[in-house]
Amino acid sequence: MARRLPVPISLAEIVGRFGGTLDVGDPAATISGVAPLPAAGPLDLAFLAHARFRDQASATRAGVVVVSPVLAAALPAGVPRILADNPYAYYAGFARWFEIASAPPGGGGIHPQAIVAADAVLGEGVTIGPGCVIEEGAHIDAGATLGAGVFIGAGSQIGANTRLAPRVTVMHDCRIGRDGLVHSGTVIGSDGFGFAREGERWTKIPQLGRVLIGDQVEIGAQCAIDRGALEDTEIGDGCKLDNLIQVAHNVRIGANCALAGCVGIAGSAVIGRRCMIGGGTGIAGHLEICDDVTIFAYSLVTRSIRVPGSYSGSFPLMDSKEWEKAAVIVRRLADMRDRVRRLEKRFGDDAS
């Protein structure tokens, strides 16, 4: 790994900052990098979170390994180790700190090639990259970072310590909370797909709502999050969105949901809290998904889900009327199977 801490951190400091127990190793020993088990050297922290990596662990040269008590014996006897109940979460916390602590010093401030409206409000310690445009009445809160070519529309607000990667677009009157991250190419607050049929033509319906995004939300590259038609499009605190996701107008997503790549959510759908939605899933508009639902990849959700649990399934493309008939049959297959079994039990194999 190329990136290193400018000042190495001791094992005692790691435990003091992130918790766990130093089971083997010198508390004064230091590390300056992070690496996977096979590549880690004496100056690197690594982690072992699953038994399938035992072989890699048995030969590691890491300066310290974060490991659960159950898997600690998989490490060579002399390898320093920090015992933690959830090594993967421990590593995630350490990596977040490492990313900031090892970053090259930035210039900060406003690049001379940025265009900032006279009445825009910039908090302390913001970084505005080259080619950024910040329109009238926008608020960029303390510690926020805007990469090259970011556009912030009039009246929009970017929360404290939130980072926008190069070429992110935030249209007018939208809000992103604190400690967030939005990756390149994402557009927040574009018009929802609102049109009324007028004879043979389509008449555009103005999209007058906003996009409101909570705190600690991460949004991947090339996502499109549309503003509401009258109400707001909302994404709750702690949500994580992968790349290439479409969130249509008036959609509401509850806190701490995770959406994998290429999910498409149609207008006015409401998704509860702590939901996990697999890649390529399509969710129809104007339905509701309750809290704590997991939807497997490439599923098609056409009805509301009101009971927590795991769901999956899709249907091959066919004529709509034929599909409706087939869908009814599929929903009754379990009952039909039970009836056939009862008949077989009563009359023997001849019943089939």
Question: Does 327 map to a domain?
Answer: yes
Question: Does 347 map to a domain?
Answer: yes
Question: Does 1 map to a domain?
Answer: no
Question: Does 280 map to a domain?
Answer: yes
Active site residue 183: no
Its domain, for residue 329, covers 320-351
| CB contact set of 338 (below 8 Å; sequence gap of 6+) | none
Q: Closest Cα partner for 283 from 264, 262, 309, 260?
A: 264
Question: Does 3 map to a domain?
Answer: no
In this structure, the answer to whether residues 284 and 330 fall within a common structural domain is no
Q: Give me the tens of pLDDT residue by residue for the chain, a chain 352 residues long.
A: 568 999 999 999 999 999 999 999 999 999 999 999 999 999 999 999 999 999 999 999 999 999 999 999 999 999 999 999 999 999 999 999 998 899 877 667 999 999 999 999 999 999 999 999 999 999 999 999 999 999 999 999 999 999 999 999 999 999 999 999 999 999 999 999 999 999 999 999 999 999 999 999 999 999 999 999 999 999 999 999 999 999 999 999 999 999 999 999 999 999 999 999 999 999 999 999 999 999 999 999 999 999 999 999 877 667 878 878 888 888 888 898 899 999 888 887 655 4
In this structure, the answer to whether residues 22 and 97 fall within a common structural domain is yes
Question: Does 230 map to a domain?
Answer: yes
If DSSP codes are grouped into helix, strand and coil, which group holds residue 67? strand
Q: Closest Cα partner for 247 from 285, 215, 275?
A: 285
If DSSP codes are grouped into helix, strand and coil, which group holds residue 88? helix
pLDDT score for 106: 64
In this structure, the answer to whether residues 217 and 258 fall within a common structural domain is yes
pLDDT score for 197: 95
pLDDT score for 331: 84
pLDDT score for 313: 82
Torsion of CA 67, 73, 78, 80, to 10 degrees: 10
In this structure, the answer to whether residues 35 and 120 fall within a common structural domain is no
User: How many domains does the chain fold into?
Assistant: 3
In this structure, the answer to whether residues 243 and 275 fall within a common structural domain is yes
Question: Does 162 map to a domain?
Answer: yes
In this structure, the answer to whether residues 175 and 243 fall within a common structural domain is yes
pLDDT score for 349: 61
pLDDT score for 107: 60
Q: Closest Cα partner for 191 from 229, 153, 246, 165?
A: 229
pLDDT score for 35: 95
pLDDT score for 284: 96
Q: Which of 50, 172, 183, 249 is catalytic?
A: 249
In this structure, the answer to whether residues 66 and 146 fall within a common structural domain is no
In this structure, the answer to whether residues 32 and 152 fall within a common structural domain is no
Question: Does 27 map to a domain?
Answer: yes
